[in-house]
């Protein structure tokens, strides 16, 4: 019979008295029994510390806990809850030295751990029980305007008439009914977004949170609330600070939230520290982006690149996953100095990283061969680049009359798509859509997808697509310029396309684009005529031609083979007819 908590300095007789508390029984239909109340109060009075028990619904004392004069630390006893809409099945009964009621720590434990109930016995100067306070969880409105708990007390110890079994049964039924009636379309539950910044970087916090909210929506998460904290400096252990973490946990219980998403990259130590104080799922910005990429990758290249980035992200965090991984393996191959399970896991992860890198190198060679064959045919290449959700795929569809996936979400495109446009005088170009950029792109993901941008390195022209209606336009342009520089694409000729002009008042997009590029709406084909003219002038300056010369033998030039080279899955083609719109699509 183990005594949990602060047992240092206890006399052997006090330890024996605490161990005898394990013999007490508390029926589910009684808040507490006189025997248990007296035992707790005597132990608390004798030690000068808070003393408590965790009792299950059968009345069995599962844990006896000792704290200090003001605090009680609960032991780790497993998962957050057994099932949705149900409580833990344990109630906490403990003493307070003095008349104080339920404290903030009591209420945090009640809500965070989904306890059935928390009861406090106030110990008098003579070591006898005086008054009792208790509290339990309650369902709240979706707006979270009320606390997720209800407290009662002080009640005279001798006049208790409380039936916990009836209270808990009614509450669990109400919680389950509320959850069934909730219409949540998001497949991955509800989340609270958390942004923590210091005073130097506070100005861009709201825009950063807006982008994080879009990422969460793309990942299929329902955002229940957004929390912004400006601190003198970010807490090195909990990011938020220990007290603020408790507030966030309470808010999560109010809103029935399962996930906390931080708008920053958490270190392995920060992730472990946060997981140690809450049973909510903890994600950082990199994990969220990796999850989006994992959902949306379709090609062999894309899937391998995402897996490689995930493995590199998880490698330094393997030690925080499970203490059992540190055990030595046994049996054949595990004798002598041996190798721990953790070491085996890391070794296998490193081996997998090596295999993925080798496969990606082979696929890179194949892409290089396709580009070389394309270059021998003399076909100019135009690559579309820009910030995520700027409308790149929609523009590709509009220019080439194709139907690649285009959604109003971040990272709708993860795989390179190539299509052809045929201009007058038998001239054509290949237009390639690329993965969108984003600020603070995770370095492992950037490294994994770097090969994807090899297509852009061979381009004759880059179309830098900008969402002209986005309030963070300048920040997005700066991010794109930085990434293009890292990819050694800064010297490639560039044409700036200010997309989504239809979202601004007439003439406003043209004013912004004046002297810098061309304003278009990818949803309006008429608006693309100036862009097509600019593409033609940039690709064929001073009337120079890249003519498509006919091949003498049909088998030497196979349209189907060329389409396969341009896109492993599909390829489209759009002819631009001189007799209709000059260089407009038919």
Summarised one tens digit per residue, pLDDT across range 483-522 is 888 888 888 888 999 999 999 998 898 898 888 889 999 8
From the list 146, 82, 89, 111, the residue with the least C-alpha distance to 253 is: 111
pLDDT score of 79: 45
pLDDT at 339 over 80: no
Least confident range from 56-70, 173-187, 279-293, 311-325: namely: 173-187
* Contact (Cβ atoms closer than 8 angstroms) between residue 197 and residue 174: no
Mean pLDDT of 82-100: 78
Using 50, 70 and 90 to split pLDDT, how confident is the model at 457?
Answer: confident
Q: 3-state SS of the chain: helix, strand, coil percent to 5?
A: 45, 20, 35
* Contact (Cβ atoms closer than 8 angstroms) between residue 91 and residue 115: yes
> What one-character DSSP code corresponds to residue 309?
H
DSSP string, 532-571: HHHHHHHHSGGG---B-PPPSSGGGS-HHHHHHHH-SS--
Highest mean pLDDT among 75-84, 141-150, 527-536, 538-547: 527-536
What does the alpha-carbon distance between residue 35 and residue 305 come to, in Å, rounded to a whole number?
A: 64
Tokens, residue 168: 């808990």
What does the alpha-carbon distance between residue 365 and residue 353 come to, in Å, rounded to a whole number?
A: 19
pLDDT at 332 over 50: no
Using 50, 70 and 90 to split pLDDT, how confident is the model at 369?
Answer: confident
Please tell me whether the peptide bond between 154 and the residue prior to it is cis, using omega within 30 degrees of 0.
yes
The residue ranking higher by pLDDT, 554 or 406, is: 406
* Contact (Cβ atoms closer than 8 angstroms) between residue 419 and residue 383: no
- DSSP E strand boundaries for 107-200: 117-123, 129-137, 149-156, 190-198
> Which residues make Cβ contacts (< 8 Å) with residue 504, sequence separation at least 6?
468, 469
What is the percent of the chain with per-residue pLDDT over 90, rounded to a whole number?
Answer: 8
Tokens, residue 444: 């492992």
The domains of the chain, with CATH numbers, are 3-181 (no CATH), 190-292 (3.40.50.11060), 367-581 (3.40.50.300)
* Contact (Cβ atoms closer than 8 angstroms) between residue 94 and residue 50: yes
Mean pLDDT, the chain, rounded, equals: 77
What does the alpha-carbon distance between residue 346 and residue 269 come to, in Å, rounded to a whole number?
A: 17
> Which residues make Cβ contacts (< 8 Å) with residue 433, sequence separation at least 6?
384, 392, 393, 396, 404, 413, 416, 417, 418
> Which residues make Cβ contacts (< 8 Å) with residue 251, sequence separation at least 6?
144, 192, 225, 227, 257
What does the alpha-carbon distance between residue 463 and residue 493 come to, in Å, rounded to a whole number?
A: 9
Q: Is the dihedral of CA 410, 256, 260, 352 positive or negative?
A: negative
Tell me the pTM: 0.63
Summarised one tens digit per residue, pLDDT across range 223-239 is 888 888 888 888 888 88
What does the alpha-carbon distance between residue 241 and residue 246 come to, in Å, rounded to a whole number?
A: 9
**Segment (H or E) for 90:** strand 90-97
pLDDT score of 113: 79
Summarised one tens digit per residue, pLDDT across range 382-438 is 888 888 888 888 888 888 877 665 666 666 565 667 787 777 666 788 888 877 888
pLDDT score of 144: 54
pLDDT score of 121: 92
């Amino acid at each position: 019979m183990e005594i949990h908590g602060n047992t240092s300095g206890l006399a052997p007789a006090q330890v024996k008295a605490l161990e005898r508390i394990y013999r007490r029984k508390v029926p589910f239909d009684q808040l507490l029994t006189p025997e248990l109340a007296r035992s707790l109060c005597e132990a608390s009075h004798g030690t000068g510390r808070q003393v408590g028990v965790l009792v299950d619904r059968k009345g069995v004392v599962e844990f006896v806990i000792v704290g200090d004069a003001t605090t009680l630390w609960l032991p780790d006893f497993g998962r957050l809850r057994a099932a949705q809409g149900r409580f833990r099945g344990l109630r906490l009964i403990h003493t307070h030295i003095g008349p104080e009621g339920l404290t903030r720590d009591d209420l945090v434990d009640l809500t965070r751990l989904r306890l059935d109930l928390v009861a406090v016995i106030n110990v008098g100067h003579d070591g006898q029980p005086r008054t009792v306070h208790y509290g339990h969880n309650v369902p709240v409105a979706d707006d979270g305007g009320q606390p997720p708990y209800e407290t009662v007390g002080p009640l005279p110890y001798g006049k208790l008439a409380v039936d916990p079994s009836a209270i808990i049964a009614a509450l669990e039924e109400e919680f389950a009914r509320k959850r069934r009636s909730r219409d949540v379309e998001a497949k991955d539950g509800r989340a609270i977004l958390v942004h923590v910044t210091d005073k130097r970087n506070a100005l861009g916090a709201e825009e950063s949170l807006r982008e994080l909210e879009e990422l969460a929506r793309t990942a299929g998460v329902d955002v229940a609330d957004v929390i912004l904290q400006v601190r003198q400096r970010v807490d090195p252990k909990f990011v938020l600070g220990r007290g603020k973490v408790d507030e966030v946990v309470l808010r999560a219980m109010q809103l029935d939230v399962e996930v906390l998403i931080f708008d920053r990259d958490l270190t392995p130590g920060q992730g472990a520290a946060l997981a140690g104080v809450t049973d909510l799922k903890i994600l950082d910005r990199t994990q969220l982006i990796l999850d989006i990429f994992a959902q949306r990758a379709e090609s062999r290249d894309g899937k391998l690149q995402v897996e490689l980035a995930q493995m590199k992200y998880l490698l330094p965090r393997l030690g925080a996953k499970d203490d059992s991984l540190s055990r030595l393996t046994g049996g054949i191959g595990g004798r002598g100095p041996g190798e721990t399970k953790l070491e085996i896991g890391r070794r296998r992860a490193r081996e997998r990283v090596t295999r993925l890198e080798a496969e990606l190198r082979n696929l890179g060679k194949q892409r290089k061969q396709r580009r070389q064959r394309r270059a021998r045919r003399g076909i100019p290449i135009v690559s579309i680049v820009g910030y995520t959700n700027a409308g790149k795929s929609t523009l590709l569809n509009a220019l080439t009359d194709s139907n690649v996936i285009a959604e109003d979400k971040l990272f709708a495109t993860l795989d390179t798509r190539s299509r052809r446009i045929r201009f007058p005088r038998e001239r054509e170009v290949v237009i390639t859509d690329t993965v969108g950029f984003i600020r603070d792109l995770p370095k492992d993901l950037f490294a994994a997808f770097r090969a994807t941008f090899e297509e852009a390195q061979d381009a004759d022209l880059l179309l830098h697509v900008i969402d002209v209606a986005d309030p963070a336009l300048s920040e997005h342009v700066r991010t794109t310029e930085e990434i293009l520089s890292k990819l050694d694409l800064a010297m490639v000729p560039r044409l700036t396309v200010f997309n989504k002009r239809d979202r601004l008042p007439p003439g406003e997009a043209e004013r912004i684009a004046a002297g810098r590029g061309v304003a278009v709406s990818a949803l309006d084909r008429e608006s693309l005529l100036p862009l097509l003219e600019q593409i033609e002038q940039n690709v064929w300056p001073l009337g120079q031609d890249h003519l498509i010369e006919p091949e003498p033998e049909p088998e030497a030039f196979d349209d189907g083979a060329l389409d396969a080279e341009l896109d492993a899955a599909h390829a489209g083609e759009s002819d631009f007819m001189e007799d209709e719109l000059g260089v407009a699509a038919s």
